[in-house]
Structure 1
Amino acid sequence: MAAVLTPRSAKMSLERLINALRPVLAENFGVVIRYVPTLAKYLLCLLFLINVRSWPLMWHFRVFRPVFRIRLEHKLLQWRTMFMSRARKIQAEDEWLDSISPVGADPMSFSIKYNTWASIDDSDFNGHLSNSSYAKTMDSARFKAALAMFPMFFRAGGWMALAATHYNFIREIPILAPYEIRLSIGTWDQKWIYIIAKFVTKPKSKSKSKSKPAEQPTSPSSNSNSDTETSTLFTASLRTPADADAISTTGTPFPPSDTPTATSIPTNAQSQGDTPTPTITAALKAVVASLASEPEPDGAILHTISVSQCCFKVGRITVPPVLVLAVNGFSAPSPSPNAPPHWAKAKAVMSRPLGGSTRALHGLLKGGWRDMPPAERWWDQAMGGVVEERRRRALEVVQALGLGMGGVRNL
């Protein structure tokens, strides 16, 4: 007959088990206690190492790493030319500046790549890159692209102000996955330049090249000089000003004649008849459709598209993007294999061997361009032709983002 387990018998069985284990526990408890601090120390060290990319000042290191690299290159140039004559030193520096500038490049075909990976501290509990990490990584990617695209502008004391950033999430980026940000110039108007960034990953094999679209995140982010002082050759700065007066959201360097404005296109606050009001969602979809209509040339998988609205500043003076593009060597495609036609005029302003100077370039950017007659503005001629046509078409799509955000302010 089976014994019935009563509360009293269960208690007695538990007491006998404890009495039997007491000698074993008493013998090994001290050993366990002795190793707890060591185990905790190793666990803390492991946790500290896993989150190395979130250590203090690591964000600053990643953002300013391109500046450190370009300063080191300039310092090495000075060491290599230290026994040369002064004229040869100046010539060598001028040639080096040309080599790091995109001379002759098509502004709307030029791109910069930023490679990184989805570390543990950049990922969320769903096991993929967190929404906030897109914006954090874009700080580094934008800065690298800005230095590569506009080195002469930064050399003259300029900086870029970030006014807004828009994101459209297409697929998740899995934790620990390497990914690449491809940045290019989308378009520009009389004040703003729009930087397009594509977050992509390389397919591991042909069988995995067709990735199944993942569920979109539920809370996508929307963010918005002296010639002799060669030791401070680049004083680059790419930042979002804290004060609202630092960036005007409506003003332009001079009245635009070819671009739509907030008063010419109805917004949420000013509709005309039955004209549909542009929204953020519709604008983002239009941008994504225009940018993602063609696959990446190397078959990379597109995960996210970002549009950054920036403007160029020298002090508090806004510089037209077309001028910044031209002084850095960008131009419309030319059949000539040599430098673009406008480059000789740009060099006459900023090249020391040709009689120019950094101070002269600084003066041109800070407002000297206003004093030049429209017919003599070589920077407008440099960006003409097919580049101007493509710029206008792209501007019609991208500018709707800003108009949609302007309408949200009135809600």
Structure 2
Amino acid sequence: MADGAVRDLAVRDPGLPVDYSFVIEFMVGQETPEFDYDSSSESSSDEHPRGSRPPRLWACPVNKKDPSAAILDKCKDLLVIRGESVAICRDPSSPDTTIAYFSEDDGPPMGLGGHWFIEPSVTTYSRRHSPESYEWYGVRLRSPTYRELELVDRMTPVQWILALFRSTLVIHVNSTCRFSVHVKPALMPISLLTAKKMTTLVWVLEKELLERVCPNSYGLPYPHVKTLETCSRISSLVWYGSGGRSRQQDPLRAAISKQHLPDLRNMDLLTRLELVWDAGSSDELAKGLLGTNGDATSFAIRPVGKYAHGPTFEFRYSLWHPYQDLDASQYWIELSIHLLRATARNADSFKQYISQLDDLIHGFSVNSTPATHRWKALLSTLGLTEEWSAPWEAIVEHYKNGHRLAYRWIDRQEFLIPYRLETPGRGTVQR
């Protein structure tokens, strides 16, 4: 990340402190009996040849009968030896599964919000062009809950865990490896009003901001992206072009909706948002944001559970692709934090802000504004400057066909090469 962007990440709004956590997915290799690792040559280039072992890195031994368990234990050991608390769920698909807690001092569990949470990832798997000298096993790792923006050993937590694992393990990342962000107010639970404001912001900004900075090709998001507009239950209740309500709102909730929602040019969008504001509880709203098949869309309200010290808002638009300078993780964290901050506006200010966004987005179509200018302009309304977003623009460019993060090419990436990231000029914040 550029120095200017790092400095911008330190800017905080004391009016609404935010807690966040993140989820990364990656694969760790297991040796295969067909390959002679001792005779394989090392490469000095940025990426290793397909038949090469990265130097001095751990891979699961070939004789392990349960390689997934061995890999989870190795990840756990790397964290515990550095004083981190860890929770492991070895079989998330089992209804009788248990969570095991580990820490260096064997103290009592701190609660899931204080642990790194590790489990197998059933949605992460090798693809055709994955390095063939290893069998690959998916890992899902959720961070502890942090106050924006804490540092670990002078790094952001994403940088720290990346440096730790890639300096120790044989890791491969491809288009099945997702990156998610969870955010919530630091000093209070998520209220129904905050949930409705956040959903409104995300829905208004989804097409021209979130879809444009998420992994996409030819203007279409990658298959893991499930937008509210195309996949949510609420959206399925409104026919395109209907421009009218599908049911009568509760009078009290209708009045609150009118205080916060302006008239929008897109009547279908307005109808969907009126359904959002008609929800009688956070649980009802959360279910309305799910896909029609019951799976989470790319924006979700997560209840208290193994992934959430919450409830939390979850953003699931991104992939994890920390190749050289192409990691967008910290940008998604900061964007999620700023979206939550924007919900702190009072009713009049929030309504005016949504109206301004509607005017701005309408102007994009009238003026044929280039895509990059669109999402940067929307970021600026959240207080995220041109200086901050410039490195992200370079990453988004690599999603285009023929570049390193294009859908056909991201699966061809090799091992994550060990290196240590340094973030100068800021001290460690104790958790």
TM-score when normalising by structure 2:
0.22
